[in-house]
RNA sequence: GGGCGUGUAGCAUAGCUGGAUAAUGCGUUGGCCUCCUAAGCCGAAGAUCCCGGGUUCAAAUCCUGGCGCGCCCGCCA
């Protein structure tokens, strides 16, 4: 609760000086209380014991006695060596409400910072549909994008298109050389194409890719196939425009299909940058020449070149190869050129990467340092497993995001249909669509990225406490209060504009709890953004929604046609914060459900 | 073998820049709709915070040694 801390720090400083503490180490010790009923801020007094030669409880008492009355402080108490300070609910209400109409933007919507952030996420190889494993990157990345925007940063969301690797080469070869009959014969015995996705190129063309993977292993002329693919990949890496165009024709429809899936999740990108650009524009070639001048440059027997990052402290495998024996570049080399290009366009660079890229990212980072470039921030995430084990397209052990979204919507529709039998079908569909996709997203956002994650249908499709629909429902209740006011003829804008209303001496616990949750909202947003941990904000939003529900129970807004101004103002601030917060996580803030 | 990450009630998680009675949801269980949407609210039971050692007034949190799980250790992307 930064709000309270700022208000009382000078008081506390004076009180501590009176007791005999003159250094300012205590400022970092003054932290949010562990339990809400202890207080808002707590100061453990144990470290002062040695310095003052007194017992911690006595010190806490002495400090408490020296703190003068202040409008922000509701209560000061000491327990077992802790000094607990609770904000005055009236002060909280006054601060938060100080004209919600004019200052409402302060809550939930921050001022522009002027900072330009480039966030690269997803960047999946365009060779098949998203499964929930690959989608963790997109969901986390997009949430980070949205939270930065909510925070006030100027964000560009970027997809790096891998348009020249072996995977794309295989796809292009398969489309050119395998007939539909070949593909179906090769994949006989596996799951067929779900008729639902007929015509969606990511689902259709991945079968050519999968068939090619089999054919490359099993067909009699596999050496010739490998040579042909190798020739194309090689040509692409030397910037052969004809081959690159053929690759693009192969992957672009697949990429479009993948983006359709992401769009359904509310995920979109501002820019797409193709890997091949850095080969064709000469950046990669110049970079490789530059590396030759480095003192840590080395050459292998066949002419391949590397940087010896061991000399810079890298453990394990220390040779970082940037050029093959045949003179072509490697993925990592292009990635470095890409990063140098990105740095020209932003103040901060964030990459969202799977944990399998940690070593690679480390090598790229060290090389960028060698080039006197800044190192990007990286958000790593663990892979999503299925209860049966690792997700694998080859083994048919996958859950496609398209299927998950269909199932989520269907289940949400069943819930809405049962709970709201009077709703029209199109209204049910709209709610089910919003609830389904939000639940799927939230299920992934709410856990910390580095944690291993096992996908379970029953959890992805849970619509109760701890889920996106729980938050959506609280928001809907707040919206319904507005509708109620309108139907009662309440002048809402007028009510919100009222300032300096008399606040009741005692407030119901639901009100106090909500005020405290509101007071902490922007602190959590800042932390989630700065530490790249969206799940902190997700958990806060659950807490905020929960607090709103208790407030809803305790504080009626309209009774017998009479509106309670304070309650309405608090409800409206909460509604806006919930709405902007939901948008920050990609949860759809619908108004009915 | 080496590197990185992770291990918290039956299950899934939060807390990890050290601080009090370890928080939340699911599940189990007891209450609450003549009142702005019960996808809700209030209560109960349920924890050797993986194990051992260390640092400290204080360890789930930091250090160290084990064990389990995941990922990486390509002139692949």
HEC readout, A130-177: CEHHHHHHHHHHHHHHHHHHHHCCEEEEEEEECCCCHHHHHHHHHHHH
**What pLDDT score was predicted for residue A87?**
92
Provide the b/e sequence for A156-182 (b: ≥16 CB within 10 Å): bbbbbbbbbbebbbbbbbbbeebeeeb
What tens digit of pLDDT does each residue of A286-321 get? 999 999 999 999 999 999 999 999 998 888 888 999
Percent helix, strand, coil in chain A, to 5, is: 55, 15, 30
Chain B nucleotides with an atom closer than 7 Å to a protein C-beta = 1-7, 12-15, 17, 19-21, 23-27, 35-42, 57-58, 69-77
Residue A38 pLDDT more than 90? Answer: no
DSSP string, A309-366: GGGGT--SS-EEEEE-TTS-B-HHHHHHHHHHHHHTT-SEEEEEEEGGGHHHHHHHHH
CB atoms within 10 A of CB A424: 9
A32 touches strand B (CB under 7 A): no
DSSP string, A51-86: HHTS-HHHHHHHHHHHPPP-TTEEEEEEETTEEEEE
- Whether residue A503 contacts residue A490, with contact meaning beta carbons closer than 8 Å, is answered with no
- Name which of A186-195, A383-392, A428-437 the model is least confident about: A383-392
**What pLDDT score was predicted for residue A2?**
85
**What pLDDT score was predicted for residue A549?**
97
**What pLDDT score was predicted for residue A101?**
44
HEC readout, A266-289: CCCCCEEEECCHHHHCCHHHHHHH
The whole-angstrom separation of Cα A517 and Cα A545 is: 9
pLDDT tier at A79, thresholds 50, 70, 90: confident
A508 touches strand B (CB under 7 A): no
Residue A412 pLDDT more than 50? Answer: yes
The whole-angstrom separation of Cα A479 and Cα A592 is: 8
Rounded CA–C1' distance between A402 and B46, in angstroms: 38
Mapping DSSP to helix (H, G, I), strand (E, B) and coil, where does residue A44 land? strand
Q: Which residue has the higher pLDDT, A182 or A23?
A: A182
Write the ipTM. 0.95
The whole-angstrom separation of Cα A154 and Cα A464 is: 34
Rounded CA–C1' distance between A509 and B41, in angstroms: 13
Residue A102 pLDDT more than 70? Answer: no
A360 touches strand B (CB under 7 A): yes
Rounded CA–C1' distance between A17 and B11, in angstroms: 51
Number of alpha helices (DSSP H) and beta strands (DSSP E) in chain A: 24, 17
Q: Which residue has the higher pLDDT, A389 or A164?
A: A164
Residues of chain A (169-228) having a beta carbon less than 7 angstroms from strand B? none
Q: What is the mean pLDDT of the segment spanning A128-143? A: 94
What's phi and psi for A128, nearest 5 deg?
A: 180, 170
The DSSP bridge partners found for residue A41 are A32, A85
- Whether residue A182 contacts residue A140, with contact meaning beta carbons closer than 8 Å, is answered with no
pLDDT tier at A39, thresholds 50, 70, 90: confident
If you average pLDDT over each of A2-11, A387-396, A409-418, which comes out highest? A409-418
A335 touches strand B (CB under 7 A): no
What tens digit of pLDDT does each residue of A468-477 get? 999 999 999 9
Query: What is the rounded average pLDDT for all residues in chain A?
Result: 92
Please give the share of chain A, as a percent, with pLDDT higher than 90: 77
Q: Counting beta carbons within 10 angstroms of the beta carbon of residue A198, is it exposed (0 to 12), middle (13 to 18) or buried (19 or more)?
A: exposed
The whole-angstrom separation of Cα A403 and Cα A397 is: 13
**What pLDDT score was predicted for residue A26?**
87
- What angle do helix axes A401-419 and A425-445 make, rounded to 10 degrees? 130
**Cβ contacts of residue A370 below 8 Å, gap of 6+?**
A294, A296, A307, A312
Provide the b/e sequence for A200-225 (b: ≥16 CB within 10 Å): bbbbbbbbbbbbbbebbeeeeeeeeb
The whole-angstrom separation of Cα A376 and Cα A352 is: 10
- Name which of A101-105, A257-261, A275-279 the model is least confident about: A101-105
Q: Which residue has the higher pLDDT, A582 or A53?
A: A582
The whole-angstrom separation of Cα A271 and Cα A345 is: 12
Q: Which nucleotide is nearest to A431 (CA to C1')?
A: B39
Rounded CA–C1' distance between A164 and B35, in angstroms: 65
Q: What is the mean pLDDT of the segment spanning A356-360? A: 94
Q: What does DSSP say about strands A116-120 and A348-354: parallel, antiparallel, or unpaired?
A: parallel
Enumerate domains of chain A plus CATH numbers: 2-87 (3.30.1360.70), 116-390 (3.40.50.620)
**What pLDDT score was predicted for residue A396?**
72
Q: What does DSSP say about strands A154-161 and A271-274: parallel, antiparallel, or unpaired?
A: parallel
Rounded CA–C1' distance between A166 and B77, in angstroms: 7
Q: What is the mean pLDDT of the segment spanning A394-411? A: 89
Residue A35 pLDDT more than 80? Answer: no
**Cβ contacts of residue A381 below 8 Å, gap of 6+?**
A136, A137, A140, A352, A353, A354, A355, A449, A450
DSSP single-letter state for residue A464:
S
The whole-angstrom separation of Cα A545 and Cα A266 is: 22
**What pLDDT score was predicted for residue A345?**
96
The whole-angstrom separation of Cα A326 and Cα A441 is: 45
- Whether residue A577 contacts residue A544, with contact meaning beta carbons closer than 8 Å, is answered with yes
């Amino acid at each position: 609760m930064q709000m309270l801390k700022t208000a009382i720090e000078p008081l506390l400083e004076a009180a501590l000086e009176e007791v005999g503490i003159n250094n300012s180490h205590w400022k970092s010790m003054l932290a949010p209380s562990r339990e809400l009923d202890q207080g808002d801020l707590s100061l453990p007094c144990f470290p002062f014991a040695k310095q003052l030669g007194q017992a911690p409880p006595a010190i806490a008492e002495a400090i408490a006695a020296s703190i003068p009355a202040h409008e922000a402080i509701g209560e000061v108490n000491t327990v077992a060596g802790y000094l607990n300070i609770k904000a005055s609910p009236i002060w909280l209400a006054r601060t938060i409400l100080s004209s919600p109409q004019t200052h409402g933007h302060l809550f939930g919507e921050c001022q522009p910072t002027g900072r330009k952030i480039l966030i690269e996420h997803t960047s999946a190889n365009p060779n098949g549909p998203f499964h929930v494993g690959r989608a963790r990157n997109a969901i986390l990345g997009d949430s980070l994008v949205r939270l930065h925007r909510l925070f006030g940063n100027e964000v560009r969301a970027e997809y790096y298109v891998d348009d020249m690797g072996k995977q794309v080469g295989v796809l292009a070869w398969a489309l050119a050389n395998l007939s539909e009959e070949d593909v179906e014969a090769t994949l006989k015995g596996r799951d067929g194409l779900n008729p639902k996705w007929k015509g969606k190129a990511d689902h259709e063309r991945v079968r050519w890719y999968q068939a090619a993977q089999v054919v490359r292993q099993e067909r009699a002329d596999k050496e010739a196939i490998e040579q042909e693919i190798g020739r194309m990949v090689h040509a692409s890496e030397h910037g052969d425009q004809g081959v690159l165009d053929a690759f693009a024709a192969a992957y672009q429809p697949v990429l479009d299909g993948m983006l359709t899936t992401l769009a359904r999740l509310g995920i979109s990108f501002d820019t797409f940058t193709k890997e091949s650009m850095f080969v064709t524009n000469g950046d990669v070639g110049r970079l490789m020449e530059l590396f030759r001048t480095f003192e840590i440059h080395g050459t292998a027997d066949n002419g391949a070149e590397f940087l010896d990052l061991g000399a810079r402290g890298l453990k394990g495998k220390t040779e970082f190869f940037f050029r093959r024996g045949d003179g072509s570049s490697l993925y990592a080399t292009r990635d470095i050129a890409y990063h140098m290009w990105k740095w020209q366009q932003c103040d901060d660079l964030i990459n969202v990467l799977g944990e399998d890229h940690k070593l690679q990212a480390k090598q790229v980072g060290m090389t960028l340092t060698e080039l006197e470039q800044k190192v990007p921030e990286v958000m790593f995430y663990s892979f999503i497993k299925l209860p049966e084990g690792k997700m694998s397209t080859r083994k048919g052990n996958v859950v496609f995001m398209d299927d998950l979204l269909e199932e989520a919507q269907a289940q949400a529709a069943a819930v809405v249909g049962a709970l709201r039998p009077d709703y029209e079908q199109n209204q049910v569909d709209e709610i089910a669509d919003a609830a389904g996709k939000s639940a799927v997203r939230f299920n992934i956002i709410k856990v910390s990225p580095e944690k291993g994650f096992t996908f379970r249908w029953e959890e992805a499709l849970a619509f109760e406490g701890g889920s996106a629909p729980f938050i959506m429902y609280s928001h809907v209740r707040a919206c319904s209060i507005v509708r109620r006011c309108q139907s009662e003829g309440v002048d809402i804008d007028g009510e919100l504009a009222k300032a300096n209303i008399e606040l009741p001496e005692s407030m119901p616990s639901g009100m106090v709890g909500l005020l405290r949750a509101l007071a902490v909202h922007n602190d959590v947003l800042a932390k989630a953004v700065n530490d790249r941990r969206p799940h902190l904000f997700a958990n806060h939003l659950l807490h905020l929604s929960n607090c709103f529900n208790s407030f809803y129970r305790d504080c009626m807004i309209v009774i017998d046609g009479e509106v309670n101004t304070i309650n309405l103002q608090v409800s409206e601030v909460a509604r806006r914060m919930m709405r902007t917060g939901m948008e920050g996580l990609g949860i759809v803030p619908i108004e009915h459900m």
